[in-house]
Amino acid sequence: MADYQGPERVLSGIQPSGGMHLGNYLGAIRKFVDLQDRHDCFYCVVDMHAITVWQAPAKLKAQTRHIAASYLAAGVDPARAVVFHQSGVRAHAELAWIFNCVARLGWLDRMTQFKDKAGKDKERASVGLYTYPVLQAADILVYKATHVPVGEDQKQHLELSRDVAGKFNHDYEVPNFFPLPEPLIKGAGARVMSLRDGTAKMSKSDSSENACIFLNDDADAIARKIKKAKTDPEPLPSEPAGLEGRPEAANLVGIYAALAKKTDAEVLAEYGGQGFGVFKPALADLVVDKIAPIGDELRRLEADEAYLDAVLREGAAKAAAVADPIVADVKEIVGFLV
Ligand code: TYM
């Protein structure tokens, strides 16, 4: 970003490929809310990314509204931030094609998320799944976004976005046309792990429904999942170093710290020496206190499809008004007739 002179802008997105969970909330949405007061923010529901793996059409519509409703329920304000669906702004797809011709095969070959998602049978994966990070670069750079709040798992994709921006600027001899976007990852909650396996990321595609707390889980479901969370027999240590080699304990302490806006050390100063019989109910109370009201608001908003669709439509128009002139400049730079 060193010499980029344009305004600071924030962009991020979440896929409508399943229910919104605590990892999405702590890793991403909570940051979205904090940033909207200080920056120009663009928050999209990345439906074009979702179809890189099969999505039943009717379900995709419902999931798109679910993600939009989750943004709003968590406190994103469509009067302050632009909330929209990716497919509603054509500029994303246009820039993605140009970026497909900038990004190199070798860069995409290194993407670990493709390897994880495609599994052993990569010949049967969609081409879109492979080129997914290029569309993500277009999402960001079509607004010349300078900052991208995400969880830790998106670090490699953000590096690719920076590489695409840098190569475009270099190849077309337009220094600083695109900013090199900076990921905003740090902080508690950047990597929330499964409640059933402290070494695996909390994910909507986990096969065990107890592994993941969804934003629309009610208080009973939240308490039950935390009660069943995998732990070890030892009491909690009194300092963070004692969490080493105890991934499940570290994860529960991390969730507590993130929700209470404390450090792990502060949580352990309070609960060190206590067993999970004491810590789990305290954690369940905290999660219910912070998440259940969001779930209530989410359900209320989801019942009002017309409102959500209007928010997304208006957001898409506002987003296009920023993106279209940037794509027009890109076409001129590339040498397309305009
Ligand atoms: P997605 O839909 O998988 O996840 C959305 C956001 O939630 C974060 N996240 C987590 N954070 C902490 N702990 C977890 N267990 C956890 N699981 C998910 C993700 O890091 C992400 O911030 N490729 C992106 C979507 C995307 C995007 C973009 C993001 C498309 N275009 C442009 C930023 C900018 C993705 O699949 O996120």
Give how far the C-alpha of residue 318 lies from the chain's centroid of Cα atoms, to the nearest Å: 21
Asked if residues 155 and 182 have their Cβ atoms less than 8 Å apart, the reply is no
Task: Count CB-CB contacts under 10 A for residue 208.
Answer: 12
The pTM (predicted TM-score) of the whole model is 0.96
Q: What is the percent of the chain with per-residue pLDDT over 70, rounded to a whole number?
A: 99
Task: Count CB-CB contacts under 10 A for residue 117.
Answer: 16
What token pair was written down for 251? 């994860």
Ligand 1 pocket test, candidate residues 154, 156, 192, 251, most atoms within 8 A of CB? 154
Q: How far is CA 247 from CA 38, 142, 154, 255, in A?
A: 35, 39, 21, 12
User: Residue 149 — φ and ψ, nearest 5°?
Assistant: -75, 120
Give the per-residue pLDDT at 137.
Answer: 98
For 256-271, what is the mean pLDDT? 97
Among the listed residues 30, 135, 38, the one whose alpha carbon sits nearest the alpha carbon of residue 90: 135
Give the per-residue pLDDT at 1.
Answer: 54
> Is 117 a catalytic site residue?
yes
Asked if residues 22 and 255 have their Cβ atoms less than 8 Å apart, the reply is yes
Give the per-residue pLDDT at 16.
Answer: 97
For the segment 122-154, what is each residue's pLDDT rounded down to a tens digit?
A: 899 999 999 999 999 999 999 999 999 999 999
Give the per-residue pLDDT at 166.
Answer: 98
Give the per-residue pLDDT at 205.
Answer: 81
Using CB distances shorter than 6 Å, the residues near ligand 1 are: 11-15, 23-24, 26-28, 46, 49, 136, 139-140, 148, 150-151, 153-154, 157, 190-192, 201-202
CA–CA separation, 251 vs 231, rounded Å?
10
209 pLDDT exceeds 90?
Answer: no
Residues in the chain: 338
CA–CA separation, 276 vs 233, rounded Å?
8
Distance 172 CA to ligand 1 centre (A): 30
For 161-187, what is the mean pLDDT? 97
2 pLDDT exceeds 70?
Answer: no
- Indicate the pLDDT class of residue 281, thresholds 50, 70 and 90: very high
Render 196-208 in DSSP notation, one character per residue. S-TTSB--TT-S-
Average pLDDT, the chain: 96
Among the listed residues 131, 119, 127, 141, the one whose alpha carbon sits nearest the alpha carbon of residue 13: 141
> Is 201 a catalytic site residue?
yes
CA–CA separation, 155 vs 184, rounded Å?
9
For the segment 65-98, what is each residue's pLDDT rounded down to a tens digit?
A: 999 999 999 999 999 999 999 999 999 999 999 9
Residue 118's region, left for phi above 0, alpha for psi from -120 to 50, else beta, is alpha
Q: How far is CA 155 from CA 31, 111, 220, 224, in A?
A: 16, 11, 34, 32
For 51-59, what is the mean pLDDT? 96
Quote the DSSP letter at residue 109. Answer: H
For the segment 111-120, what is each residue's pLDDT rounded down to a tens digit?
A: 999 999 998 8
CA–CA separation, 111 vs 214, rounded Å?
27
> Is 204 a catalytic site residue?
yes
What token pair was written down for 70? 């989750």
Asked if residues 270 and 41 have their Cβ atoms less than 8 Å apart, the reply is no
For 176-190, what is the mean pLDDT? 95
* 164-192: b (≥16 Cβ within 10 Å) or e: bbebbbeeeeeeebbbbbebbbeebbbbb
